């Protein structure tokens, strides 16, 4: 099975999220002490930078932007985008699963809001909802 047909399921606080495996570069654990918290950009929820392959990449914390109580974010998902690599703080990685085992649904009107939004669909896996991230909106801070 190729990487495009698989997804990574993970949690920020108690909220489940997913992304296509092709968007993931690497999973880094126990990184809290490696983040340079002096490099902050609150407009796009960047809490600092992380050394990655002889460079520094921005680390985004969606928990504060989505008003989610994060438990202990000590994992960074290194992601790729058109703007380059960046990191996403998460609490827990569920694992890798086949996209064919999931049912994608539109986001209910109740969860749709004007302004910034970082997810575009909901993926149901074994009846459990996972918000499917739109990575360009997560990092760019795009308004809708």
**Check whether domain 3-138 has CATH 2.40.50.180, yes or no:** yes
More confident residue, 32 or 83: 32
Q: Which residues contact 2 (CB under 8 A, 6 or more apart)?
A: none
Q: What pLDDT sits at residue 143? A: 39
The pTM of this model reads: 0.86
Mean pLDDT score across all residues of the chain: 84
Question: What tokens appear for 23 in the block?
Answer: 């968007």
Confidence of residue 84 (pLDDT cuts 50, 70, 90): confident
Please, are residues 17 and 8 in contact by the beta-carbon 8 Å criterion? Answer: no
pLDDT greater than 70 at residue 53: yes
* Confidence grade of residue 40 (pLDDT, cut at 50, 70, 90): confident
């Amino acid at each position: 099975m190729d990487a495009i047909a698989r997804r990574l399921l993970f949690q920020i606080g108690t909220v489940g999220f997913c992304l296509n495996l092709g968007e993931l570069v690497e999973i880094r654990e126990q990184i809290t002490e490696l983040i340079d918290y002096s490099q902050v950009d609150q407009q796009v929820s960047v809490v600092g930078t992380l050394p990655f392959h002889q460079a520094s990449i921005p680390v985004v914390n969606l928990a504060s932007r989505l008003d989610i109580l994060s438990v202990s974010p000590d994992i960074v998902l290194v992601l790729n985008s058109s703007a380059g690599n960046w990191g996403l703080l998460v609490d827990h990685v569920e694992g890798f699963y086949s996209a064919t085992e999931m049912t994608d649904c539109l986001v209910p009107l109740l969860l749709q809001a004007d302004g910034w939004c970082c997810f575009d669909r909901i993926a149901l896996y074994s009846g459990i909802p996972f918000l499917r991230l739109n990575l360009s909106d997560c990092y760019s801070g795009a308004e809708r």
